[in-house]
Amino acid sequence: MAFQPIAGINNGARTGGSVPVTLNGRALEANRRIPLNLDWVDQVRANTSAVERRAATHVTRRTVKKDTQAAWLLRAIACMDLTTLSGDDSTDRVRRLCAKARNPLQRDLVEALGIEELHLTVGAVCVYHAFVETAVRALEGSGIPVAAASAGFPAGLNPLAERVAEIHRSVEAGASEIDIVITRAHVFNGEWQALYDEVAAFKDACGPNIHMKAILGTGDLMTLRNVARASWVAMMAGADFIKTSTGKETVNATLPVSLVMVRALRDYAERTGYAVGFKPAGGIRTAKQSLDWLAMMKDELGRSWLEPSLFRFGASGMLADIERQLEHHGTGRYSAAYRHPIA
C-alpha cells in the first residue's frame, strides 16, 4: 500500500503512516479553500435527540480487549496533542511536558509491550504562543511538531490584525501547527461570510505548510446545528482540522458534538474530495474515552482518520490514565497514578 502524503500535513512516519487517505474507497486530497457555499450551510440538519442516541450507542456497540485494547491505547497516544494551556504555564513546565512527549511511556512498559520499534511519541505538543520557542527547542530532533494555541486564544476577541499577527509570530517561532479560535458571535448572528473571511485570513497567515486547526468553541455555540454550520464554513475557508473546544468552555468535547462535526467533514469530503482532520479537545481524561473516540472515527470515517494527520486528541491528563491501563495490561495488576512520571 503506497502512501501518498498530503501536502502540509505531518503524516508522522513514526505512527505507521502507510495508509492512503480514502473515504468509502475514494482517494482524497488535502483540504484547500473553496468558495463559500451558503446552500451547504443552510442544508445543515442535526437532530439533537437522534445524534445523542447514536453517540450513546457508539460507546456500547464497540469495545476492544486485551492486545487490541493495548494497541488502540498506543494509537491514542500517537494521536495526542499533549497540551498545557494554563495561566500558570512556565518554561520549565513546558520543558517537562516536552520530555514526556518524547517518551510518553516508561521504558519498561515499552519493552513489556514489545513496541520498541514504534518509537512512539505523542502527535504534537500544544502550548500558548509564548512557549512555542521553548517547546521547539525542547523537542528538537524528535520530529514532534509544536502546535500553538494562537490568534487570541481562548476568547478570540482581540482585533483581527493582532490575531493574524500572533499567528505570524507563532509560525516564526517555529510552530508547525496553529490552533485558532473562531469568533463565536459570527455563528450566533449567521455572519457566515465574516466567519469565512476570518478563518481564511488565519489560514493565509499560517501559509500552506502550517497545519491549521479551527476551534469552533462548541461549548459556547450550544446547539448542534450551530456546530455543524460553523464546521462547514471553517472547512470551506480552508481549515486543515476542525476542533471542538478551547478546553475553557463549561462543556468541551462531547461525543454528540464530535459526531456532528465528523458527519460534516464526511459530507464535505464526499462533495469536494478533500480530507479535513478532526480534533476533540477538553474533557477527555480517561483511556476509556480515548477508545470511544477512536471507534467513532473508525466507524464513521474509516482507517484514514486514525492517523495523526487527520485525528488528534487535545488532552493533558489522559496520558496518565492510558499509562496506568497499559501497565495493567502488562502486569495484570491495577496501577496507581503516582507510579508514572507526570507530564
Partner 1 sequence: MSTIAEKFYSMDYGLAPEDPKEAVSWLDRHHRRFGLFIGGAWRKPSTGEYTPTNDPSSGETLAEVALGTVDDVNAAVAAARKALPAWQALSGHERARYLYALARQVQKHARRLAVLETMDNGKPIRESRDIDIPLVARHFYHHAGWAQLLEQEFPGYQACGVVGQVIPWNFPLLMFAWKVAPALAAGNTVVIKPAMQTPLTALAMAELAQEIGLPPGVLNVLTCDDNAAQALVEHPDLDKVAFTGSTEVGRIIRKVTAKTNKKLSLELGGKSPFVVFDDADLDSAVEGLVDAIWFNQGRVCCAGSRLLVQERVAETLYAKIRARMETLRVGPPLDKAIDIGAVVSPVQLETIRKMVDAGVAEGARCWQPSAAIPEKGCFYPPTLLTDVHPAATVVQQEIFGPVLVAMTFRTPAEAAELANNTVYGLAASIWSENINVALDLAAQVKAGVVWVNCTNQFDAACGFGGYRESGYGREGGREGMLEYLTPKWLHTLPGAPTEADESGCPGSLAVGDPGEDASEDESGAATNPPTPSLSGPSIDRTVKQYIGGKQARPDSGYSFQVQGRNGQLLGEAPLGNRKDIRNAVEAARNAASWAWSSAHNRAQILYYLAENMSQRRDEIAERLARVVGEEQAAREVALSIERTFSYAAWADKYEGAVHNPPGRNITIAMNEAVGAIGILAPSEAPLLGLLSLILPAIAMGNTVVAVPSERYPLIIGDLYQLLDTSDVPGGVVNLVAGRPAELAKTLAEHDGLEAIWCFRSNEEAAFVRAASIGNLKQVFTNDGRAYDWFNPAQAEGRWFLEHATQVKNIWVPYGE
* Segment lying near partner 1 (by CB under 8 A), choices 114-122, 135-143, 153-161, 200-208: 114-122
> Is residue 66 flagged as an active site residue?
no
Is the CB of residue 78 less than 8 Å from the CB of residue 12? Answer: yes
Query: Rounded CA gap, 242 and 215, in Å?
Result: 6
Is the CB of residue 330 less than 8 Å from the CB of residue 113? Answer: yes
* Segment lying near partner 1 (by CB under 8 A), choices 5-13, 53-61, 121-129, 181-189: 53-61
| DSSP one-letter string for 61-87 | H----HHHHHHHHHHHHHTEEEE---T
Query: Rounded CA gap, 141 and 130, in Å?
Result: 21
Please pick, from the candidates 30, 70, 132, 230, the single residue that binds partner 1 as defined by CB under 8 A.
70
Catalytic option among 179, 220, 240, 292? 179
Sequence-ordered list of residues with C-beta below 8 angstroms from that of 23, at least 6 positions apart, any chain: 266, 269, 270, 275, 301, 302, 304
Q: Is 175 in the site for partner 1 (CB under 8 A)?
A: no
Query: Rounded CA gap, 59 and 48, in Å?
Result: 17
Q: Which is nearer to partner 1, 78 or 236 (CB)?
A: 78
Q: Which is nearer to partner 1, 120 or 343 (CB)?
A: 120
Please pick, from the candidates 66, 107, 141, 159, the single residue that binds partner 1 as defined by CB under 8 A.
66
By CB under 8 A, the residues from 269 to 308 that bind partner 1 are: 294, 298-299, 303, 306
Phi and psi dihedrals of 286, rounded to 5?
Answer: -115, 160
- H or E element, residue 186: helix 184-188
Catalytic option among 100, 203, 213, 279? 279
Q: Is 107 in the site for partner 1 (CB under 8 A)?
A: no
Closest approach, Cβ 307 to partner 1, in A, equals 9
* Interface residues toward partner 1, by CB under 8 A: 16, 18, 24, 45-54, 57, 60-72, 74-75, 78, 113-115, 117-118, 223-225, 263, 294, 298-299, 303, 306
Residues marked as catalytic: 179, 243, 279
